[in-house]
Amino acid sequence: MLRGKTVALCVTGGIAAYKAADLTSKLRGAGADVRVLMTESATQFISPITFETLSGNRAVVDTFDRDFAWEVEHISLAKAADVFVIAPATANIIAKAAHGIADDMVSTTLLATRAPVVVAPAMNTGMYDNPVTQQNLETLRERGFHIVEPASGRLACGDEGRGKLADTAALLCGIEAALTAQDLAGLNVLVTAGPTREALDPVRFLSNHSTGKMGYAIAARAAMRGARVTLVSGPTALETPKGICRVDVVSACEMRDAVVSRAEQQDIIIKAAAVGDYRPAETASEKLKKRADDMAVSLVRNPDILQELGRKKRVGQLLCGFAMETQNLLANAEEKLRNKNCDMLVANSLREPGAGFAHDTNAATLLFADGRRETAPLMRKDELADLILSRLLALLRSGR
């Protein structure tokens, strides 16, 4: 999302100004062209040279600086930027932005731009909670500004409370969201991800190699595109994507209950989890001990969540399943698509290099209920996630 984008990073005069250096570094590392604008107050906390070194561009401070190639700089920056980011955003710059005041390089350029604007407040708790500041922030929200809420904790002044600049990961997420079309806004999307575990005893369980990366990528991209996302996750080591409601489960039965109880409210359900087909008929209450002879474990079928969802699917709701195979991929996937009453099914092979469990990439074939197929070559899982979501959105818009 950031590669090739021009980011105008506005640094204002708060103690958190030093954190903008890390943001500059991360933005450039992601392939963005970073143009830093600073208020005079910001230069009291951190030198423009720091940002020039990290960004590879001159940091702009003085509106009337004559040491540059001829152009009306605040206008040229306003036109060049794909996104404006104010981090840290003091109460002062928030008030200026809300009321159209343009008396320095940052506020003047901000007033001239038509690019999306991300505002990351950072200030004393009392200043942040002040009704005037809150009203100014609400004004900016109403005008379409993207607000990255501050974190809570111990502030530089010694107070405890809200007002800490959001961490770099949250800022990057906010910037990507501002650059992303909100084409899923207003939709409820439920995604399942990860493995399930079926207990043999208090120590051991039956499971599979799923890491949850594909499902988490879908959930993250859906939220980035404006959807209200519920992520029902089996045990994984992954962090919860920003802006998502995560429901943790362990067994297939737990996943079934979590999904089915929420299914009616969803516009799109994407079943990317690797759900165990079987569970032990009995779970030992104590750890099973080694025996001289062979051990036999009786298994029973787990509920077929996808099939139940397909049977209960309401009009206008879309259901997307996943099929991972080691042989006869398309034949098995086509049968699953029909039997489970899916609108779309994502089929991938464990034999494909770079695809399947644990990889950051995936390759798949998308199968549709009307018989169409689309091949998705090896790509990053977040890219495949966007492709899946775009195809489902097209189906939703067509009324199919």
Rounded Cα–Cα distance for residues 150 and 29 (Å):
24
Residue type, 187: L
Catalytic: which of 157, 253, 320, 342? Answer: 157
Beta strands 344-349 and 318-325 are: parallel
The Cβ of residue 398 has, within 10 Å, a number of other Cβ atoms equal to 7
Query: At residue 217, what are phi and psi to the nearest 5 degrees?
Result: -65, -40
Residue type, 263: A
Query: At residue 31, what are phi and psi to the nearest 5 degrees?
Result: 100, 10
Non-local CB neighbours of 294 within 8 Å, separated by 6+ positions: none
- Does residue 342 have an active-site annotation? no
- Determine whether 137 is exposed, middle or buried from the number of CB atoms within 10 Å of its CB (0-12, 13-18, 19+): buried
Helix axes 105-112, 73-80, angle to 10 degrees: 50
Non-local CB neighbours of 41 within 8 Å, separated by 6+ positions: 12, 13, 90
Rounded Cα–Cα distance for residues 100 and 140 (Å):
11
In the chain, where do the E strands start and end? 6-11, 33-38, 83-89, 117-121, 146-147, 151-154, 160-164, 188-193, 198-199, 205-206, 228-233, 244-248, 268-271, 278-280, 299-301, 318-325, 344-349, 361-368, 373-380
Residue type, 106: V
Q: Residue with structure tokens 């500059």?
A: 24
Catalytic residue numbers read: 157
